[in-house]
Structure 1
Amino acid sequence: MTKQKRVMIADDDPGILDAVEAMLEFGGYNVSTTCNGATLLEMKEGFPDLLLLDIWMSGTDGRDVCKLLKQDEKTKDMPIIMISASTELEKSAKEAGADDFLEKPFDMDELLDKIKFHIK
Structure 2
Amino acid sequence: MGTKKILIADDDEGIVDAVTMILEVMGYEVAYTYDGGAVIDAVKDRPDLILLDIWMSGHDGRDICRQLKGDPQYQEIPILMISASRDIRQSALDAGANDFMEKPFEMDSLLDKVDFLLN
> TM-score with structure 1 length normalisation?
0.94
Deviation at 1:39, TM superposition (A): 1.8
The residue type equivalent to 1:60 in the other structure is H
Greater alpha carbon shift after TM alignment, 74-83 vs 43-52: 43-52
- In 2, the alpha carbon distance for the partners of 1:17 and 1:43 equals 15
Greater alpha carbon shift after TM alignment, 11-20 vs 30-39: 30-39
- The 4+ residue runs of structure 1 with deviation greater than 6 A are none
The residue type equivalent to 1:84 in the other structure is S
Q: Deviations for 1:3-24, whole angstroms, at most 9, x for unmatched residues? A: 1100010000111110000010
Greater alpha carbon shift after TM alignment, 103-112 vs 37-46: 37-46
- In 1, the alpha carbon distance for the partners of 2:18 and 2:30 equals 12
Alignment correspondent of 1:55:
54
Alignment correspondent of 1:72:
71
The answer on 1:34 being equivalent to 2:33 is yes
SS of the equivalent of 2:36 reads coil
Q: CA RMSD in A?
A: 1.2
Alignment correspondent of 2:110:
111
Rate the CA distance shift 1:119–1:44 in 2: closer, same or farther, 3 A.
closer
- Contact between 2:5 and 2:29, CA under 8 Å: does it hold in 1? yes
> TM-score with structure 2 length normalisation?
0.95
SS of the equivalent of 1:111 reads helix
Structure 1 gaps of 5+ residues are none
Greater alpha carbon shift after TM alignment, 58-67 vs 34-43: 34-43
The residue type equivalent to 1:66 in the other structure is C
- Contact between 2:36 and 2:58, CA under 8 Å: does it hold in 1? no
- In 2, the alpha carbon distance for the partners of 1:44 and 1:16 equals 20
Alignment correspondent of 1:81:
80
Instruction: Name the % identity.
Output: 52
- In 1, the alpha carbon distance for the partners of 2:17 and 2:43 equals 25
Aligned pairs for 1:3-14 within 5 A: 3-14=2-13
The residue type equivalent to 1:91 in the other structure is Q
Rate the CA distance shift 1:84–1:58 in 2: closer, same or farther, 3 A.
same
SS of the equivalent of 2:80 reads strand
Deviation at 1:44, TM superposition (A): 7.0
